[in-house]
Amino acid sequence: MKNLLAALVLTGVVTPAWAATRTVTLAIPSMHCALCPVTVKEALSKVPGVRKIEVSLPKKDAVVTFDDAKTTVAALTQATRNAGYPSTVER
């Protein structure tokens, strides 16, 4: 069993130790109706590594929690752009 675990670690099957869960807030000013947050959430949910999505129409933003070993902020903004809702990272 120890040999199997060691083999998995050495081959990279186990998540790297430097992988982290990150949360980012995306400003999405083009959301204007009740269907917009649904569309944005659906687009973001298709990005590998996304763990949690909270979209707010009144705030016109999305708070996304994701695994940074599986995706990037650029992939998240690309997903919203592809859905018709360009976004930028709120600072």
For residue range 19-69, list pLDDT tens digits in order. 699 999 999 999 999 999 999 999 999 999 999 999 999 999 999 999 999
d(CA 2, CA 65) in angstroms, rounded, equals 33
The dihedrals phi and psi of 89, each to the nearest 5 degrees, come to: -80, 130
Distances (CA, A) of 8 to 22, 62, 83: 25, 36, 38
Domain count, the chain: 1
The model's confidence at residue 1, banded by pLDDT at 50, 70 and 90, is low
In a domain? residue 80:
yes
For position 39, what pLDDT does the model report? 98
d(CA 87, CA 59) in angstroms, rounded, equals 13
Which CATH number does the domain housing residue 71 bear? Answer: 3.30.70.100
Predicted structure pTM score: 0.79
In a domain? residue 36:
yes
In a domain? residue 11:
no
Residue 63: strand pairing partners: 25, 54
87 has a pLDDT exceeding 60 = yes
In a domain? residue 59:
yes
In a domain? residue 5:
no
In a domain? residue 12:
no
Alpha carbon 21 to its chain centroid, in Å, reads 10
For position 91, what pLDDT does the model report? 80
